[in-house]
Amino acid sequence: MTDNTLADKFLRYVGQTSPFAPSLEVDRAEGSWLFSADGTRYLDFISGIAVTNVGHCHPRVTRAVQQQVSRYAHTMVYGEHIQAPQVHLAEKIASVAPAGLDCVYFLTTGAETNDAALKLAVKRTGRRRFVAFRDAYHGDTAGALSCFGSAHFRDQFPGLLADVIFLPFGDSDALSAIDDTIAAILIEPVQGEGGIRVPGPDYLPALRRRCDATGALLIFDEVQTGFGRTGSWFAAQTFGVTPDLITMAKGMGAGYPLAGILAPQELIYHFAAEPAFSHITTFGGHPVSCAAGLAAMEVIEQEDLLENCRAQGEWLLQQAGELPFDHIKDVRGIGLMIGIEMTDAQTARKVIESARARGLIIESNLLNEAVIRLSPPLNISRGECVLAVEHLRAAMEHVQA
């Protein structure tokens, strides 16, 4: 029988992004757990890639969504009507953000937000060139794609791309390439898809100084690192460096589509002037997503999840470093953003599949498939971490045998 099961129809009617989707049919999800249609339960150690930071269907988030849905969903393109959930969320984000970053321009996806940030930099500086980094990932719209640190993905679309110089991530000596022709530097403070790469403590401060010296704007892409993932609200705070703009998405909406630029109000005002409506969007700051995002921030505060993130992250990092598997090359990370680098991508894939067969969901990274990522929800318990390490160990023993 073909074309009858949901899996058949998924492959037939839903556009695919690769020829090897795992096709796990989700029935429901709760906390750190996914339940598939065949009755199997999985410990979710990737959180939809750093999205469900307070776990699946947290009761407070669900209640906030239900309440908002019953009042209104969409009423007008972003920026026209006063919608309380947007206002409250923007105020809340400003209250925990690095000093000076006090205004949120709402959008819907991470890629779109990076595009908008690049536009803002051009409007502000009058310059048109950018600096990005090798192995960076910022999304797949034209501006974000221009800053994609992989020629393999980028170079098929030359007509669409902006003028970008790529530097090696983490190399302070290379920063001299930034000069006064550069509008902005777009950087992930911790590279995610590049393989969970954490810069040394001096790197981001050196980058800040170079931007100050040349007048280039510093944009931190905190689409993955934001909303607590590195143990602070923003990685900017973890590293003690304040950029000119932060781009946010993923964890911002706690599972609902939401993104935004966080910057000083006078910088964001460039979208409203010369000409007005310089960047507009229909669904930016969707009120239901904003209600979810605000509830999730309250959960992070009230359940002390920044502290939990640091504590469980340190424990996992240490445990991962002690896994007795010959193919582990390196273990690294910060907060609950952890990478276990294998000697090769094939071994990583075998471990990932063996873990899934045991009920643990982990994944590799887009640009470095030899690296297995762990990014569980920030409210993961120690017991769930213990279970994950047991599954990982068993998966590695299976692959070693």
List binders of ligand PLP among 320-349 (CB under 6 A): none
- The nearest distance, CB 243 to ligand PLP, in angstroms, is 14
Q: How far is the CB of 286 from ligand PLP (least distance, A)?
A: 14
* Cα–Cα dist 104/239, whole Å: 21
Q: Angle 168-173-177 (CA atoms, 0-180°, nearest 5)?
A: 75
Whether 92 and 252 have beta carbons less than 8 Å apart is answered as no
CB 110 within 8 A of CB 138: yes
Per DSSP, the three-state class of 118 is helix
Residue 221 Cβ, how far from ligand PLP at the closest point, in Å? 5
- How near is the Cβ of 2 to ligand PLP at its closest, in Å? 32
- Give the contacts of 99 (CB within 8 A, at least 6 positions apart): 242
Q: Per CB under 6 A, which region of 68-76, 104-112, 320-328, 389-397 contacts ligand PLP? A: 104-112
Among the listed ranges 103-111, 178-186, 317-325, 349-357, the one in contact with ligand PLP (CB under 6 A) is 103-111
Q: By the 8 A CB rule, do 281 and 119 touch?
A: no
- The least CB distance from residue 259 to ligand PLP, in Å, is 6
Contact map string, positions 43 to 82, toward ligand PLP, x by CB under 6 A:
------x---------------------------------
Compare residues 135 and 193 and give the one whose CB is closer to ligand PLP: 193
Give the residue with the Cβ less far from ligand PLP, 257 or 287. Answer: 257
Spatial neighbors of 356 by CB under 8 A, at least 6 apart, are 22, 24, 42, 362
In the complex with ligand PLP, the residue whose CB is nearer, 149 or 231, is 149
Residue 241 has phi, psi (to 5 degrees) of -130, 125
Indicate the residue among 136 and 178 with the shorter CB distance to ligand PLP.
Answer: 136
- To ligand PLP, the closest distance from the beta carbon of 141 in angstroms equals 7
- Strand, coil or helix: 83: coil
- Best CA proximity match to 138, nearest among 6, 269, 249: 249
Closest to ligand PLP by CB, 65 vs 136, is: 136
Residue 150 or residue 214: which is nearer to ligand PLP going by CB?
Answer: 150
Q: Residue 395: helix, strand or coil by DSSP?
A: helix
Residues 168-227 that bind ligand PLP (CB under 6 A): 188, 192-193, 221, 223-224
Residue 159 beta carbon to ligand PLP: minimum distance, rounded to whole angstroms = 21
* Closest residue to ligand PLP using C-beta atoms: 110
Dig out the tokens for 40 from the structure. 């199997």
Residues in contact with ligand PLP, counted by CB under 6 A, come to a total of: 15
- Min separation Cβ 135 and ligand PLP, Å: 11
Tell me which of 101, 184, 249, 348 binds ligand PLP, using CB under 6 A. Answer: 249
Footprint (CB under 6 A) of ligand PLP, residues 107-146:
109-111, 114, 137-139
- Residue 208 contacts residue 218 (beta carbons within 8 Å): yes
Question: Can you tell me which residue has the tokens 């954490």?
Answer: 198
Which residues neighbour 358 within 8 Å (Cβ) at sequence distance 6 or greater? 391, 394, 395
Identify which of residues 143 and 384 has a Cβ nearer to ligand PLP in the complex.
143
The least distance separating ligand PLP from the CB of residue 17, rounded to whole angstroms, comes to 11
Choose between 223 and 305: whose C-beta lies nearer to ligand PLP.
223
Give the residue among 267, 316, 241 at the shortest CA–CA distance from 116: 267
C-alpha closest to that of 197 among 367, 33, 65, 324: 367
In the bound complex, what is the minimum distance in angstroms from residue 140's beta carbon to ligand PLP? 7
Residues 400, 354 contacting (CB under 8 angstroms): no
Name the H helices within 126-271. Answer: 142-146, 151-154, 203-214, 235-239, 265-268
Q: Is 31 in the site for ligand PLP (CB under 6 A)?
A: no
Report strand pairing: 182-187 vs 217-221: parallel
Residue 254 vs 396, nearer CB to ligand PLP: 254
Q: Which residues in this chain contact ligand PLP in the complex, by CB under 6 A?
A: 49, 109-111, 114, 137-139, 188, 192-193, 221, 223-224, 249
